[in-house]
Structure 1
Amino acid sequence: MLADMLTLTQALHDEIVAHARQDHPDEACGVVAGPVGSGRPERFIPMFNAARSPTFYEFDSGDLLKLYREMDDRDEEPVIIYHSHTATEAHPSRTDISYANEPGAHYVLVSTADTDDAGPFQFRSFRIVDGQVTEEEVEIVEAYA
């Protein structure tokens, strides 16, 4: 059941996929911030995978603190938290679910498994609240209305 929908621009979609391709075979991770309460992803923020792993991602704690201070100063919040799966489908793992602590965010997964440099890439979005995972529709637009 698709309970919600993520709307994002083609440019943001392409930046997320490009980051996943660039960091492959390690998992890529990052955030797309938007104005508090808007639900609109606007500012692409690629992060460094401190785990440097093809099967796990971890935000650097110093980078994460800096990011949250910066978003607070700009009246932003994390609208999308994204990462890639390099060997499995784009679906949250048990670890992903256990680390999901932003109930208002869209959790985007890009799978770079079984693709060549041109794609196609699985690009899926989920809500993860209290351990419950719900996939949602993704709408890609040229610009926000």
Structure 2
Amino acid sequence: MLIIHQRLADAIVRQALADHPLESCGVLAGPAGTGVPTRCIAMDNAAQSECFFRFDSHQQLRLARDMARLGQEAVAIYHSHTGSHAYPSRSDIDYATDPALHYLIVSTDAGYPPGLRSFRIGNGHVVEERIAAVSAYRDVRFNHGLDTGDTRPATAA
């Protein structure tokens, strides 16, 4: 199960709606070793596609350096589906390289139910997991300084 602060979940949906009709994408990060997302980092979809996403490589490098400097690690990768339901596509499954990560998808297609869904993907297998969106984390240290990703990292490395 993924426990996520409601403000972070709302930020993912807000970004997906703003980026529509292109797929949106980003990373949830948190203090290394905790598995608790405290930061939503909106990324540019370098593919500029309605049916595929790819992180901008310069943003990705900048983000990796930033997370290392802050003692953070990726907890989840998220993206939107603009013309299908919120379930991993064949490409999503093929590109999911870390079974420890949560893979979040939100559909912005009016023909499908809205909402954020979370999956674990490993060795070609997909398992949906519950999401508990909370108004506050039990450990109050994680409630301070939540970053909802309203600005994107620069593309210059």
- Aligned pairs, how many? 138
Q: Which runs of 4+ in 1 moved over 2 A?
A: none
TM-score (norm 1): 0.91
Q: Give aligned-pair identity as a percent.
A: 51
Aligned residue runs from structure 1 range 1-145, under 5 A: 5-114=1-110, 121-145=114-138
- Higher mean C-alpha deviation, range 106-115 or range 46-55: 106-115
CA distance in structure 2 between the partners assigned to 1:139 and 1:39 by the alignment = 14
CA distance in structure 2 between the partners assigned to 1:10 and 1:36 by the alignment = 21
For the 8 Å contact 1:89–1:122, the answer to whether it is kept is: no
Q: Which amino acid aligns with 2:6?
A: Q
Q: Which runs of 5+ in 2 are unaligned?
A: 139-157
Q: Which runs of 5+ in 1 are unaligned?
A: none
Structure whose residues are more often strand by fraction: 1
* Distance apart, 1:89 and its partner CA: 0.4
* Distance apart, 1:120 and its partner CA: 5.8
1:63-92: per-residue Cα shift (whole Å, max 9, x none)? 111111111111111111100000000000
Q: Secondary structure at the match of 1:54?
A: coil
CA distance in structure 2 between the partners assigned to 1:131 and 1:83 by the alignment = 18
For the 8 Å contact 1:6–1:138, the answer to whether it is kept is: yes
1:6-58: per-residue Cα shift (whole Å, max 9, x none)? 11011001000000000000000000100111010001100000011100000
